[in-house]
C-alpha cells in the first residue's frame, strides 16, 4: 500500500492522495475498456474528469473595512489585491494560480478583457470616480498569480463589503451556497456591529456555521487578556445566534437539532493581526508571523478544506474505486468460469441470470413507488405550513404598521415620504426574516425525510448486492477448475471479502446526501447546500427565495405608495389611525396580488419531488451501471460460447494479472474508505462528548 494514501491532512498531501486515487481509476478504466464494461468505463471517466477540475473555493466576507483584502494578501504572502483606508473592493475578485501574472476581467455584458495586474485597482475598486464607474460594469475579476497558497488548487474570492452597497451585498450572499469555506472577518476594535448581528441572526443560515471561520482582525493592539476576552465574547454571541435560529428551524427537542448541535460544535473564532502577518511574510520574519497568530488561522483553514471538505471527495473516490474494481473482478470471474462450462449448462445458467437481472429491476421499480409515496407524504405534511404562508407574511406586515410609532408631525407633506420609506423598509426586513425561517423549516423537513428514506433504502442496497452476487454464484465451478483457475478465484474471493459487499454502493451511509445524491464536486456537505433558502439566493432553485420574495414585495409596495403621493395628499390631514388603516389596505392588496402571481405551494411541491427524483436518479444510475455491464458480459459470453471459445493459458495468465493488480488497488481503496469512515465516527463521538461535557460544565456552574 502506498504511504500517502492515508496522509491527507495538508494541501499537498491531499493532492497526492487524490492523484494516487486518480491513477488507480485510470488503471481500472483501461481494464473496463478491455473487458467491455462500457457503463463502468463511462462512470469512471466522468469521475476522473470531475477530479481534474476540482479545486477548493474560499470566500472572504464581512463588512467593509474589516481588512478582508489585507487578510487575503497575508494568505498569499504578497500585496496582490488593492486595499485602502476607504471601502475599496467593488466587485468579486478571484485569485487563482498561474505562473504568469495577469488579470481577466469578465464584464456584465458577457465580454472579457485581459489586463495587466498592476492595473487591477482601475477595474475593481472605489478608490477613484473612474474606477468606481468601471467597477459597476464588471461581473468578476480573476487574478492569475504564481502564489504557493493557490498552487494547491485553492481559489480565494475577495467579496465587496457587506452593508457597503445593497446590490453587492446580495452578490456576496449569492456565492455562499457555492463555496467550500468562508472566512468572516470581524474587527477587534468594534466586534459585532448592528449589521453583523443582524447578518448572523437573519441572513446567514444556521447550518452555514460548520464551514465558516470567524476572524477577529487587528490583534496585537490589545493585551493578551483582552484578546482572549474578545474572542470568547464573539464565540459566545455567534453560538447563541446560531443555536437560537436552529431551534426555530428544527425544534429544540427534535432529533435533528441534537444531531446539529453535535456536528456544528463550537464556532471557529480566531484572533489575528493580518497586516502584521503580511509584512512578516514579505520580510521573512518568522517571529513576527507567529506573533500575528496567522499560522493558527492557516492551519484551521487547511484542516477544514482537506480533513472536512476534502474527506467527502476522497470517500467518493474510494467508493468509486471499490465499485469499479469489484466489477472488474466479477467480470473476470464470470468470463473464466463461463468459458470453462459445457454449452448446455451455460445456457441454463445464462437464462437464469437474465431472469434474475429483470427481477432485480422489478424490485427497484417497487422501491421507486415507495420513494414517490414518501415524497407525497412529505408534501402533505407541509401543506398546513404552506396554507398559512401568506397569512404569516401578511401578519408580519400588519404588525409592523400597527406598532410603528407615528407622531402627528410625521404626517405633514414634507415628512410623509420619509415615514413611508421607513415603514416599508421595516416591513421588508420582517417579511424577509419570516419568509427565510419558513423556507428553512420547509427544507429541514425535506432533508429529514430524505435522510429517513435513504436509511430505509439500506435494505434495498444490501439486497441488490446479494442478488448481484447470486448471479455470480450461478456460474461458480470451483469444484472443477484447475490450479490456475483456482488461484484466480482465490484472489477474487480475497479482494471481495476484504472490501465487503455492503461498502460497494456509492451510498447513503458514507458519502450520504452530501456526496452520493448531490453529486461529486459540488462542494456540498451535510448541512450546507441542501438548504434551498440559501441556494435560492443564488437563483439555483425554482423555489422563491426569501431574499427574492422581499425584493419583489419592496418593489411592489414602493411603486404603489409612490403613485399615491400625487393623488392622496389629503392623508397629511388625516389622523394616524386613518393613515395606518389605509397603509394596511394597500399592503394587503399588494400581497394579495403577489399571492395570485406566485404559486408558492406549487414551487414547494416541485422542490420536494425534485429532491426525491434526484434520489431515484442516483439509485437508477448506480444500479444500472452494474446491471447493464453484467448483462453485456453475459451476452458477450453467450456469443463466445456459440463460437466454442475457451480460455487459453495465455489469456488465463493475463486475467490473473488483471485480478492481482485490481486486488491491490481495491485493498488500498478499502483501507482509505475504512479510515475515513472511522475518522467520521470518531469525530461524531468526540463532538457528542464535547457537547455533553460543555453542558455538564454549564450545569455544574449553574
Task: Compare 356 and 548 and report the one with higher pLDDT.
Answer: 356
DSSP 8-state symbol, 63: B
Q: What is the mean pLDDT of residues 647-652?
A: 76
Return the pLDDT at 482: 47
DSSP state string for 171-211: HHHHHGGG-SEEEEEEESSS-S-HHHHHIIIIIS-GGGGGG
Report whether pLDDT(262) > 80: no
Point out the least confidently predicted range of 301-305, 333-337, 586-590, 686-690. Answer: 686-690
**Which has more confidence, 82 or 634?**
634
Is the confidence at residue 181, as pLDDT, over 80?
yes
In contact, 289 and 280? CB cutoff 8 Å:
yes
Band of residue 494 on the pLDDT scale cut at 50, 70, 90: very low
- Report the alpha-carbon distance of residue 325 to residue 672 in Å, rounded: 15
CA of 661: how far to CAs of 94, 301, 482, 490, in Å? Answer: 42, 37, 21, 14
CB 614 within 8 A of CB 517: yes
Give strand pairing partners of 182. 59, 212
Tell me, what's the pLDDT at 641?
86
Each residue of 619-643: pLDDT tens digit?
898 899 999 999 999 999 998 888 8
User: Of 554-568, 576-590, 624-638, where does mean pLDDT reach its minimum?
Assistant: 554-568
Residue 296: the pLDDT is 93
pLDDT at 223: 79
Q: How many beta carbons lie within 10 A of that of residue 167, not counting itself?
A: 8
What CATH number belongs to 56-292?
3.40.50.300
DSSP string, 360-421: HHHHHHHHHHHHHHHHHHHHHHHHHHHHTHHHHHHHHHHHHHHHS---GGGGSHHHHHHHHH
Neighbours of 383 (CB within 10 A): 12
143-167: per-residue pLDDT in tens?
A: 898 888 888 888 998 887 776 566 6
Half-sphere exposure of 273 (CA within 13 A, CB side): 17
Out of 184-193, 261-270, 540-549, 600-609, pick the least confident: 540-549
What is the rounded average pLDDT of the residues 400-423?
84
Q: Give the range with max mean pLDDT: 22-36, 121-135, 519-533, 661-675.
A: 22-36
Under the banding of pLDDT at 50, 70 and 90, the label for residue 542 is: very low
**What is the SS3 assignment for 483-514?**
HHHHHHHHHHHHHHHHHCHHHCCCCCCCCHHH
Q: What is the pTM of this model?
A: 0.75
pLDDT in tens, 186-202: 888 777 777 777 777 66
* pLDDT of the residue at 249: 80
CB-neighbour burial class of residue 570 (10 A; exposed 0-12, middle 13-18, buried 19+)? exposed
What is the average pLDDT score of the chain? Answer: 76
> pLDDT exceeding 90 applies to what percent of the chain?
18
Res. 363: pLDDT tops 90: yes
Closest C-alpha to 619, from 464, 412, 433: 464
Distance CA 318, CA 668 (A): 9
566 band by pLDDT with thresholds 50, 70 and 90:
very low
- Helices 255-264, 224-250: crossing angle, 10 deg rounding: 160
pLDDT band at 36 (very low <50, low <70, confident <90, very high): very high
- Which pLDDT score is estimated for 347? 93
Q: Is the pLDDT of residue 570 over 80?
A: no
Residue 302 has pLDDT above 60, yes or no: yes
Residue 466: what pLDDT? 87
Q: Could you state, in order of their start, the residue ranges of all structural domains in the chain?
A: 56-292, 381-474+522-624
Which phi and psi angles does 579 have, rounded to 5°? -60, -50
Residue 178 above 50 pLDDT?
yes
Q: Report DSSP state, residue 478.
A: G
pLDDT of residue 532: 26
CA-based R_g, the chain, Å: 30
> How far is it, in rounded angstroms, from Cα 399 to Cα 384?
22
Asked whether the predicted pLDDT for residue 497 surpasses 80, the reply is no
C-alpha closest to that of 306 among 14, 18, 675: 14
**Does an H or E element contain 537, and which?**
none
- Cell matching residue 466: 446479494
Please give the average per-residue pLDDT across 19-32, as a whole number.
94
Amino acid at each position: 500500500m502506498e504511504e500517502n494514501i492515508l496522509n491527507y491532512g495538508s494541501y499537498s498531501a491531499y493532492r497526492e492522495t487524490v492523484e494516487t486515487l486518480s491513477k488507480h481509476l485510470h488503471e481500472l478504466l483501461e481494464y473496463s475498456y478491455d473487458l467491455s464494461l462500457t457503463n463502468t468505463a463511462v462512470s469512471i471517466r466522468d469521475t476522473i474528469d470531475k477530479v481534474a477540475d476540482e479545486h477548493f473555493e474560499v470566500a472572504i466576507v464581512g463588512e467593509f473595512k474589516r481588512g478582508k483584502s489585507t487578510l487575503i494578501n497575508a494568505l498569499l504572502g504578497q500585496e496582490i489585491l488593492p486595499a485602502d483606508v476607504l471601502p475599496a473592493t467593488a466587485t468579486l475578485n478571484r485569485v487563482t494560480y498561474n505562473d504568469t501574472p495577469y488579470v481577466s476581467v469578465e464584464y456584465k455584458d458577457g465580454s472579457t478583457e485581459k489586463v495587466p495586474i498592476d492595473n487591477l485597482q482601475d477595474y475593481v475598486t472605489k478608490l477613484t470616480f473612474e474606477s468606481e464607474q468601471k467597477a459597476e460594469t464588471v461581473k468578476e475579476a480573476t487574478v492569475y498569480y504564481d502564489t504557493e497558497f493557490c498552487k494547491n488548487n485553492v481559489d480565494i474570492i475577495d467579496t465587496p463589503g457587506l452593508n457597503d452597497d445593497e446590490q453587492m451585498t446580495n452578490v456576496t450572499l449569492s456565492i455562499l451556497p457555492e463555496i467550500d469555506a468562508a472566512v468572516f472577518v470581524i474587527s477587534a476594535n468594534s466586534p459585532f456591529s448592528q449589521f453583523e448581528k443582524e447578518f448572523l441572526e437573519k441572513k446567514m443560515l444556521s447550518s452555514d456555521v460548520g464551514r465558516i471561520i470567524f476572524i477577529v482582525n487587528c490583534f496585537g493592539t490589545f493585551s493578551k487578556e483582552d484578546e482572549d476576552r474578545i474572542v470568547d465574547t464573539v464565540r459566545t454571541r455567534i453560538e447563541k445566534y446560531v443555536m437560537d435560529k436552529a431551534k426555530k428551524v428544527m425544534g429544540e427537542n427534535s432529533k435533528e437539532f441534537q444531531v446539529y448541535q453535535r456536528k456544528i460544535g463550537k464556532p471557529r473564532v480566531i484572533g489575528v493581526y493580518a497586516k502584521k502577518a503580511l509584512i512578516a511574510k514579505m520580510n521573512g520574519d518568522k517571529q513576527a508571523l507567529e506573533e500575528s497568530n496567522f499560522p493558527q488561522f492557516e492551519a484551521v483553514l487547511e484542516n477544514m478544506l482537506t480533513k472536512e471538505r476534502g474527506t467527502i471527495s476522497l470517500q467518493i473516490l474510494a467508493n468509486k474505486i471499490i465499485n469499479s474494481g469489484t466489477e472488474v473482478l466479477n467480470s473476470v470471474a464470470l468470463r473464466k468460469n463461463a468459458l470453462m462450462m459445457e454449452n448446455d449448462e451455460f445456457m441454463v445458467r445464462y437464462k437464469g441470470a437474465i431472469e434474475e437481472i429483470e427481477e432485480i429491476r422489478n424490485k427497484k421499480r417497487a422501491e421507486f413507488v415507495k420513494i414517490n409515496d414518501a415524497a407525497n407524504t412529505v408534501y402533505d405534511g407541509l401543506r398546513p405550513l404552506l396554507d398559512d404562508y401568506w397569512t404569516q407574511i401578511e401578519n408580519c406586515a400588519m404588525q409592523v404598521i400597527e406598532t410603528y410609532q407615528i407622531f402627528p408631525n410625521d404626517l405633514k407633506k414634507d415628512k410623509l415620504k420619509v415615514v413611508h420609506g421607513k415603514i416599508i423598509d421595516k416591513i421588508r426586513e420582517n417579511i424577509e426574516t419570516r419568509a427565510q425561517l419558513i423556507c428553512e423549516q420547509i427544507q429541514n423537513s425535506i432533508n429529514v425525510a430524505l435522510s429517513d428514506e435513504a436509511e430505509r433504502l439500506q435494505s434495498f442496497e444490501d439486497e441488490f448486492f446479494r442478488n448481484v452476487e447470486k448471479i455470480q454464484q450461478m456460474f461458480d465451478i470451483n469444484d472443477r477448475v484447475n490450479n490456475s483457475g483456482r488461484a484466480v478465484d482465490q484472489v477474487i474471493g480475497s479482494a471481495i471479502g476484504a472490501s465487503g459487499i455492503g461498502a460497494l454502493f456509492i451510498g447513503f451511509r458514507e458519502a450520504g446526501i452530501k456526496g452520493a445524491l448531490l453529486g461529486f464536486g459540488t462542494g456540498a456537505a451535510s448541512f450546507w447546500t441542501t438548504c434551498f433558502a440559501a441556494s435560492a439566493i443564488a437563483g439555483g432553485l425554482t423555489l422563491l427565495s426569501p431574499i427574492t420574495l422581499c425584493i419583489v414585495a419592496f418593489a411592489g409596495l414602493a411603486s404603489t405608495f409612490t403613485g399615491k403621493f400625487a393623488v392622496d395628499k389629503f392623508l397629511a390631514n388625516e389622523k394616524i389611525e386613518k393613515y395606518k388603516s389605509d397603509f394596511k389596505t394597500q399592503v394587503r392588496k399588494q400581497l394579495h396580488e403577489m399571492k395570485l402571481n406566485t404559486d408558492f405551494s406549487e414551487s414547494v411541491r416541485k422542490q420536494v419531488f425534485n429532491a426525491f427524483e434526484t434520489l431515484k436518479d442516483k439509485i437508477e444510475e448506480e444500479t444500472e451501471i452494474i446491471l447493464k455491464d453484467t448483462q453485456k458480459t453475459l451476452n458477450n459470453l453467450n456469443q463466445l460460447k456459440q463460437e466454442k471459445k475457451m480460455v487459453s493459458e495465455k489469456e488465463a495468465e493475463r486475467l490473473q494479472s488483471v485480478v492481482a493488480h485490481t486486488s491491490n488497488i481495491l485493498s488500498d481503496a478499502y483501507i482509505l474508505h475504512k479510515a475515513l469512515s472511522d475518522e467520521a465516527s470518531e469525530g461524531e463521538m468526540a463532538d457528542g462528548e464535547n457537547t455533553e461535557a460543555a453542558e455538564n460544565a454549564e450545569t455544574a456552574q449553574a
